[in-house]
Structure 1
Amino acid sequence: MTDVVLHIYDVTNSGSDKTNNTIMHINKIFKDGIGIGGIFHSAVQVHGDDEWSFGFCEQGTGVFSCPATKNPMYTYREKIVLGQTSLSNSKVNQILRELSREWPGESYDLLARNCNHFCDELCERFGVPKLPGWVNRFANAGDAAAELAGNTAYRLKQAKTEIVSASKVAYRFLSGIATNSQVSPDNQNPNKTPPRFQVSWFKNMIAAGNKPSSSSVLEVPNQDVIRQQQQRQGEDDEPLRQNARRGS
């Protein structure tokens, strides 16, 4: 049986002392202070003096090794013994060769496929527990937030499409009612009261870009019909005004 050791580093390879100090401060507060996580690099050591991890490169595999605790790009923090594996050295090397093909450097993603995700899979292959949750919690939270944002954006887009479609249907329907209610010489019905709304009122509620590109309705309301509607409105309201004067 051989120990499987996880080595953890603070990510301090930004090239800016200010940024590196900020990351160290974040890790001190969120990991050392309240224990929920931070921004870390991880690597796994088993059978030998080297540790294995994963990173970005434009060509070839992203799997690499270096002397344990000696990665020059980061600041070493601590080690955790995850458990023991019964796998032989040759079997471990076989697994590393397989993962080297499955994890090309160009597939690296900070939130979804980083060094901590690689170490998780490596530990699973070795038959030991995965990384403690705090090691990759920030990436997991970021990945969940990105997925949520994407889903929300999609839902908003769908809702906007449905609203625009409904507006077009309502626009045609209501405009059709107004058009059909116009009094024509061929079909006069003095007992029929036209609907009390103007087509222009509903048109103003719909952005110009949302109007149907082709429609049988008039783009400009018939002014004679509008005047007739206003006149009838005034006649209908006159008894109310008289009653109001009597009551005052």
Structure 2
Amino acid sequence: MAQEKVQINVYDMFWTNEYTSTLGVGVYHSGLEIYGVEYSYGGHPFPLSGIFDIAPKDSEDLGEQFKFKETIYIGTTDFNPNDISTMIQQMGHKYQGDQYHLLHKNCNHFTAEFCKLLTGKEPPSWVNRLASVSSYIPFLEKALPKEWLTPMALETSLNQTCSETTQNSAVLK
């Protein structure tokens, strides 16, 4: 059996880490790299899989707030590319875009579960420390902007902003 390398690519969400890293809690995005493809999970407002793939370490594809931080070697797996494809399809039922939540079901939760399936090992705890800490400090979730937590809250916020902009434009005319 082939032994394929499994690693995690971690991205610094630097605009938030400026504030949280002094507390020992960073906000990171992660993806699992195997067979030259990086898999991750993100939110969107639809009840469809939120799992996506990108070229490894392609922070530009993720967006301007992401900056590649480091790669963490986890181990190897015997699963072949067809097995990986099947796993991603099955995990897509659990990791739907409209179920994303920054603290309770995020990219790091997906990466940890996928990593455990492939290698029996988990990523270092610091990768998802903010979510872990939030379970012990319940008010943390209330302190964060709702738009950061779920895609539905972000969509609602964007719709309100667009509506207000349209109303303000009409008043000015």
Residue 145 to residue 26, structure 1, CA distance change in 2 (3 Å)? closer
Q: Per-residue deviation at 1:84?
A: 0.6
8 Å CA contact retained: 1:53, 1:115: yes
| Structure 2 partner of 1:3 | 5
Q: Does 1:62 align with 2:70?
A: no
Which structure's relative contact order is higher, taking Cα pairs within 8 Å and 6+ residues apart? 2
Paired AA for residue 38 in structure 1: G
Instruction: Give the length in aligned residue pairs.
Output: 134
Q: Distance in 2 between matches of 1:148 and 1:77?
A: 25
Structure showing the higher strand proportion among its residues:
2
After superposition, give the CA deviation of every residue in 1:40-74 in whole Å (9 maximum; x if it has no partner). 10000011x22111111011211111110003221
The residue type paired with residue 61 of structure 1 is S
Contact 1:4/1:128 (<8 A) preserved: no
Gaps of 5+ in 1: 13-19, 31-35, 150-248
TM-score using structure 1 length: 0.50
**Separation of aligned partners in 2, 1:76 and 1:148:** 26
Map 1:1-248 → 2, pairs under 5 A: 1-12=3-14, 20=15, 23-24=17-18, 26-27=20-21, 29=22, 36-47=24-35, 49-59=36-46, 60-72=48-60, 73=63, 74-146=66-138
CA shift, 1:142, in A, is 1.1
Structure 2 residue runs of 5 or longer lacking an equivalent are 142-173
Over the matched positions of the two proteins, sequence identity in percent amounts to: 25
1:93-127 CA-partner distances (Å, limit 9, x unpaired): 11011011221101001111010001011011112
Q: CA deviation at 1:83?
A: 0.7
Distance in 2 between residues matched to 1:118 and 1:147, nearest whole Å: 24
Q: Given that residues 85 and 128 in structure 1 are in contact (C-alpha distance below 8 angstroms), is that contact kept between their aligned partners in structure 2?
A: no
Q: How far apart, in 2, do the equivalents of 1:43 and 1:9 lie?
A: 9
1:143 CA displacement: 2.4
Tell whether the 8 Å contact from 2:134 to 2:140 is kept in structure 1 after alignment. Answer: no
User: Secondary structure at the residue paired with 1:136?
Assistant: helix
Q: Which is greater in Rg? A: 1
* Distance in 2 separating the partners of 1:95 and 1:147: 35
Moved over 3 A (4+): 24-27
CA distance in 2, matches of 1:148, 1:54: 23
Query: Residues 10 and 24 of structure 1 are in contact (CA less than 8 Å); yes or no, is this contact kept in structure 2?
Result: no
SS at match of 1:121: helix
Structure 1: which amino acid aligns with 2:10?
I
